[in-house]
Structure 1
Amino acid sequence: MTSWRGSGHGARPTAAGLLTLAALVGAGTAHAGAAAPQALPAGCSGASPITCHYAVPPGDYDVTVSVGGAADGQTEMWVEARRLMLPATRTAAGAVATYSFTINVRQPEGQPTGQGGAGNAGLDIRFTGSGPQVSAVSVKPATRPLVAYLAGDSTVCDQPAAPYTGWGQMVTTAVRPGAAIANYADSGESSGSFLSSSALFPALLSKVKANDPVFIQLGHNDKQTSASAYRSNLTTMITRVRAKGGVPVLVTPPVRRLFDGNRLTSTALHVNGVGVNLPAEMRSVGEAQRVPVIDLTAKSKALVESLGPSASAQLFLRSSVDGVTDNTHFSQYGATQMGGLLLQIIREQNLPLAAYLR
């Protein structure tokens, strides 16, 4: 089978020297014994971080990596615009751990409208951590994976620069090979602008296949949207996804950190400037259209209020840590927590992606 190997000036398909691996669907297996090769895989350079580039066209790819080496190491794996695939993983001296993923590659690689930059064409992988080590990388086209599409705003998107982090960048660690996350969320989008922008909903829709789930979280920027317009926009998306054989899933927006005493305000709960309770409208559309609804508003409200005005700050951006105070956008920790709430409900409702979660 043809795979892709990197080179300093791009990549080309080659069948020689490929990493031979058994099918891996869960946590990697550490192999103690002979130390991993000292040379980096083709296409990779650097020490901390180690960066790898493969000049593949847009699409979905099965990627297998082996981390570890002669010395103790700790390695994280990020792809494209800050999508976390492998959380910090320790390997003992002389041990190698092998992991597999299915990764969606798009150009631009971050936000579909190019906000924050277009990135590099092809697949980019970064190995970070305290002592990152990688001994092998294999990249080959995926065969008919399930693709979970994300339609959302800045709280979901692949944020190109830290500390801003969307939950769509963090849920990727939980997805087994055979399924990929295609994050089409984009900063500043309302339900209407996402629907009408050619780089967003139409581009997403053109790629949806039968049984692919499409998670729709829009509301943060519908600050002046009427109830009827909001319902119409959501219903249009549902109808068009279903026409392609996809599975639409509505996701109510996570709360903002705006307190009145120990309780969140109506603005935090997405009652907009013209008095529309957006999560309530989304739940109503879900019921009317018989579409699954992930109530991330309710779940995040419970989490934020349980932490209280002070401790909940760690979920969002803080000037003391991040250089900016922002009660809407998430820290990496907060995005991880919000993604965890979403994954919990996907499992509970047995939505199409559930069978592919670790």
Structure 2
Amino acid sequence: MKSIGLSLLLITSVITTYSQTTSFKFDFGTTKAANGYIAVTPNTLFSKETGYGFEAGAVVQAIDRGGNALTGDYLTSNKPFYFSVQLPDGNYDIKLILGDVKGTSATTVRVENRRLMLENIRTANGKQVTKTITVHVKDSLIRDAQQKETGTVRLKSREYTYRHWDNLLTLEFNDSLPKVCAVEITPNQKATTVFLAGNSTVVDQDREPWAAWGQMVPRFFEPGNIAIANYAESGETMKAFARERRLEKVFSLAKPGDYLFIEFTHNDQKPGGNHLDPFTTYKQTIKEWIGEARKKGMTPVLVTSMHRRNFDSSGHIINTLSDYPEAMRQTAAEEKVALIDLNAMSKTLYEAWGPEQSLKAFVHYPANTFPGQETALADNTHFSPYGAYELARCVVKGMVAANLPIAKYLVKEKIAFDPAHPDAIGQFYWPLSPAVTAVKPDGN
């Protein structure tokens, strides 16, 4: 009994130590690590005792080219692989060394629930590249200014399987030839945090083939200065978002200078206990959120909801959102708040695609396109990765048009975008993540 008690004490001590550690330097490759780095090999599986490692089932290979201890070896796989690190909630800069001193590479990096950070980073033969990403990590606990726990976010059952809410930074390495030499993690307490509050059209969708603009928009920001914190969830209304204490969680983390992007409508318009009337309770609730955000020193930004895919016989979009977008426009004007009119831009975007091409932007797939998908998918509300990416480009365009200060940190070559001339589907590249579902997200 004494040895069992001692073992439990040691394990608890290690877990506590790692939960408080916020900086890591990992050398991916063989067991011989560079000075000051932790060796990560194909056998480094995640455990609570160490606080880091690969997900079980990862098929990873170590290649040693010799020479420099840090960059002369790397880990690679012909399948996507996930590496997790136990961290307290907050913002972190992650430096990645990618490439091969004797070969080529191609790496896409996503984090948490398929949140896009780096897309198709290619290195020529013998070349390597160092990239930095800034990531928001979260848990479901609500804490006061003294870090005392005061409650929890009321999660839905499906959220317990998400790769967020868990105090783990999870990195997804994907693409045709990913090669990872090193990962360095440091806290970033200076970055402006952009909190996203919304529904399934904003959330970090966790499974293929679904996606939303909120999980694409981090890719459009330069690292270091901005962290996108996506607190949206499928099926949410403004009432439910507050009742489940999601808004309280956001405000508990917010600091002066941060942003709150608000995009709701699709579910708020439906009859029932969560219904809000556009020109009365909907406007009033938005104004209440604006007031609370301003008390925190945050900058509120209103985002009108995008249209559903609903065309008339002449190829024009039919408005299914009633007066809600107009109510949000009026609220922005009355409260002197920045507005991103995604509703107007989405109309232009969808009509540029037309009824047939727009199918590629939404979750429309024949039966058996994905494993376990025995019936066809036909969803005119939720987006494919391509559609979500194009909507994120609209949001970026809206940031610039609204003269938001954070726009100066956007990736310059990605700012210019015309919804009337969207990117061709053939030019969009998205290596699939392993997790797939045929179950439609909540909301419509």
* TM-score, normalization by structure 1: 0.85
Output the aligned Cα RMSD: 2.5
Structure 1 residues without counterparts, runs of 5 or longer: 9-14, 19-33, 272-276
Kept after mapping to 1: 8 A contact 2:27/2:37: no
Aligned to 1:16: 36
CA distance, structure 2, for counterparts of residue 160 and residue 123 of structure 1: 15
CA distance, structure 2, for counterparts of residue 3 and residue 121 of structure 1: 14
* Pair 1:152 & 2:198 matched: yes
Aligned to 2:250: 204
**Residue 288 of structure 1 is aligned with which of 323, 329, 334?**
334
Q: Deviations over 1:281-313 (max 9, x none)?
A: 000111111111100000000110122111111
The AA in structure 1 aligned to 2:244 is S
Equivalent residues in 2 for 1:43-58, closer than 5 Å? 48-58=79-89
Aligned to 2:414: none
Aligned to 2:277: 226
CA distance, structure 2, for counterparts of residue 141 and residue 79 of structure 1: 16
SS in 1 for 2:172: strand
Aligned to 1:127: 173
CA distance, structure 2, for counterparts of residue 2 and residue 170 of structure 1: 26
Moved more, 236-245 or 215-224: 215-224
Describe the shift of the 1:2–1:164 C-alpha distance in structure 2 as closer, same or farther (beyond 3 A).
closer
CA distance, structure 2, for counterparts of residue 248 and residue 2 of structure 1: 30
Kept after mapping to 2: 8 A contact 1:157/1:168: yes
Report the Cα offset of residue 38 of structure 1: 2.2
CA distance, structure 1, for counterparts of residue 124 and residue 79 of structure 2: 18
Equivalent residues in 2 for 1:133-148, closer than 5 Å? 133-148=179-194
Aligned to 1:339: 392
CA distance, structure 1, for counterparts of residue 265 and residue 300 of structure 2: 16
Kept after mapping to 1: 8 A contact 2:25/2:36: no
CA distance, structure 1, for counterparts of residue 140 and residue 213 of structure 2: 19
CA distance, structure 2, for counterparts of residue 145 and residue 112 of structure 1: 27
Kept after mapping to 2: 8 A contact 1:6/1:53: no
The AA in structure 1 aligned to 2:351 is E
Kept after mapping to 2: 8 A contact 1:6/1:55: no
**Residue 59 of structure 1 is aligned with which of 90, 98, 122?**
90
Aligned to 1:165: 211
Kept after mapping to 2: 8 A contact 1:108/1:118: no
Describe the shift of the 1:312–1:47 C-alpha distance in structure 2 as closer, same or farther (beyond 3 A).
closer
Equivalent residues in 2 for 1:188-337, closer than 5 Å? 188-198=235-245, 200-224=246-270, 225-227=276-278, 228-261=280-313, 262-267=315-320, 270-271=321-322, 277-320=323-366, 323-337=376-390
Describe the shift of the 1:316–1:344 C-alpha distance in structure 2 as closer, same or farther (beyond 3 A).
same
* TM-score, normalization by structure 2: 0.69
Describe the shift of the 1:165–1:112 C-alpha distance in structure 2 as closer, same or farther (beyond 3 A).
farther
**Residue 3 of structure 1 is aligned with which of 19, 23, 40?**
23
* Pair 1:113 & 2:165 matched: no
**Residue 129 of structure 2 is aligned with which of 97, 103, 108?**
97
SS in 2 for 1:185: coil
Report the Cα offset of residue 175 of structure 1: 1.2
* Identity among equivalent pairs (%): 34
Alignment: residue pair count: 325
Aligned to 1:75: 107
SS in 2 for 1:90: strand
**Residue 181 of structure 1 is aligned with which of 219, 222, 228?**
228
Kept after mapping to 1: 8 A contact 2:25/2:182: no
Kept after mapping to 1: 8 A contact 2:195/2:261: yes
* Pair 1:38 & 2:73 matched: yes
Describe the shift of the 1:172–1:243 C-alpha distance in structure 2 as closer, same or farther (beyond 3 A).
same
Kept after mapping to 1: 8 A contact 2:154/2:244: no
Kept after mapping to 2: 8 A contact 1:75/1:90: yes
CA distance, structure 1, for counterparts of residue 154 and residue 344 of structure 2: 29
Describe the shift of the 1:73–1:248 C-alpha distance in structure 2 as closer, same or farther (beyond 3 A).
same
Describe the shift of the 1:118–1:303 C-alpha distance in structure 2 as closer, same or farther (beyond 3 A).
closer
CA distance, structure 1, for counterparts of residue 177 and residue 235 of structure 2: 37
Aligned to 2:407: 354
Aligned to 2:60: none
The AA in structure 1 aligned to 2:259 is P
The AA in structure 2 aligned to 1:184 is Y
Kept after mapping to 2: 8 A contact 1:104/1:181: yes
Q: Deviations over 1:258-281 (max 9, x none)?
A: 1111111221xx11xxxxx10000
SS in 2 for 1:125: strand
CA distance, structure 2, for counterparts of residue 77 and residue 66 of structure 1: 12
SS in 1 for 2:397: helix
Q: Deviations over 1:48-71 (max 9, x none)?
A: 323222111111101110111132
SS in 2 for 1:313: helix
CA distance, structure 1, for counterparts of residue 378 and residue 386 of structure 2: 15
CA distance, structure 1, for counterparts of residue 398 and residue 391 of structure 2: 11
SS in 2 for 1:242: helix
CA distance, structure 1, for counterparts of residue 167 and residue 207 of structure 2: 18
Report the Cα offset of residue 223 of structure 1: 2.0
The structure that has the greater radius of gyration is: 2
Describe the shift of the 1:140–1:99 C-alpha distance in structure 2 as closer, same or farther (beyond 3 A).
same
CA distance, structure 1, for counterparts of residue 215 and residue 137 of structure 2: 14
The AA in structure 2 aligned to 1:252 is T
The AA in structure 2 aligned to 1:4 is F
